[in-house]
Every structure is written in structure tokens, then in C-alpha cells.
Amino acid sequence: MGGLAMFYWWNPYYLIFMAPALLFMLYAQWRVQSAYAKWSRVPNSRRLTGAQTAQAIVQQGGGPNISDGGDLGGVGLRGIAGELTDNYDPRTNTLSLSQSTINSASVASMAVVAHELGHAQQDMQNYLPLRVRTGIVPMVNIGAQLGPILFIIGFFLNFTPLVWLGIAFFSLAFVFALITLPVELNASRRAMNLLADNNLITDDQERRGARAVLNAAALTYVAGMLTALLQLLYYIMLASSGRRRRR
């Protein structure tokens, strides 16, 4: 059984399943780096740094077109190390900006800040997909650690219920990626609105640059969802093949 299990675990179908996702992920990361590098060299017309952009949006309450109480007041701001490590934490209502964003007066930094404040706006408006994503994070973390272990043990012991329990745990990663995609796309749409409503982008070049940065970032979430899906299908293929072989 050990040799058979190893045969299925190191099945060449792994490359068939995962190679497209890995290549797409590399392409998406290249797009992000390329777009960010290009537009980080283009100054925005207002000459506002990332920190000043955040302050401008927050002080105006998220823009005049918010009709359902989406006030952004009270958002904390702090700097963090790294590049493109920017994030919004709904647990502390804090916007963390990387050093490459917080001090840069570029079109790229303006787009990144607006995207993260789009998440803050989602938080203030109790945007359901964001709430669901935040709520399942503990289960996803447990599933990511426990799922593969249960699968491997069940596979080697020829215990089918444990194999499928492992797959069920691991599937939470795909669910998380699936929910994350609309959350991020919605944050990017809000970002463009925040920039326009607060007169932070004033011409077609800035608008095109901000959209290019945001669209490139969206590709990484598509790649993440595809990777999680194909890895889940690979586990299912192993489990189904093993069951047929044992009959």
C-alpha cells in the first residue's frame, strides 16, 4: 500500500493540474510589479503622498456620493516595512501603508491607498462578503494546516472517510479565495470612485494609471482562486483514483 500511495501522491497529473495556475500566478505577479514600477515613477498632479491621500479621503468622509452611512472617519494610519505590503485591518480599523507608498507622491501610491480605504469603506458599511471572509479566517487557517495532514494519513491508512474529511477541510482555502475575489474587485471599484469623488485624479492619464495598478492587483486574486481550485481538484482526483484502484 505504501508504494501505491506514493505513486498517487507524486502523480505526474500534479503538473497537469498545477502548472497552469503556477504560470498564471507568475504572470499576475509580473503584471503587478510592472504596473506598480511604471506608475510609481509618475507623480500625481496633486503631489500628494500616500499618507496625504489617505488623510484627504478620510477627512472628507469617503466622498460625497456615499448614501448609506459610509463614513471613513476614525481610520488609524501607520507605516509598515516592505513594498506592496499595504493592508487594512478591520479588527483595529487601521490602515497600514508600506514605506514605498506612504511617502510617495505617485499615481501608483494613490491607487493603492484608495484600494485599502475601499476596504475601510466596506467595513464601515458592513459589506457582507467582507464580513463573511473575515469570519471564516480562523476556520481557513485550521483547514490549511489540518486538511493535508488528514488527507495523507487517510490515504496511507486506506481510510476513505478520513481522506474526504481532509479534502473538506482543505476546500475552505478555495472558499476563502472565492469570497476574496469579489471583495477585492469591489474595493478597487470603490477606490476609483473615492479618487474621482475627492478630485484626486484630474486627467485621463492618472485615471488610466490608477486603473492599471488596480487591475494588475486583481489578477493576483484570480490566480490565487485558480490555484486553490486546481489544488483541491488534485486532492479529489487522488482520492477518487485511489478508491477505484482498491476496488
95 - beta bridge partners? 77, 88
116 has catalytic annotation: yes
Q: Which residues contact 120 (CB under 8 A, 6 or more apart)?
A: 72, 75, 88, 93, 95
From the candidates 83, 116, 184, 206, which is the catalytic residue? 116
How far is Cα 72 from Cα 83, in angstroms, rounded to an integer?
Answer: 24
Q: How far, in Å, CA of 54 to CA of 50, rounded?
A: 6
Contact (Cβ atoms closer than 8 angstroms) between residue 217 and residue 85: no
Report whether 213 contacts 39 (CB < 8 A). yes
Please return the burial class of 126, using the count of CB atoms within 10 Å of its CB with bins 0-12, 13-18 and 19+.
exposed
H-type alpha helices, the chain: 2-9, 13-39, 50-59, 99-102, 107-124, 128-156, 160-197, 204-246
Catalytic residues: 116
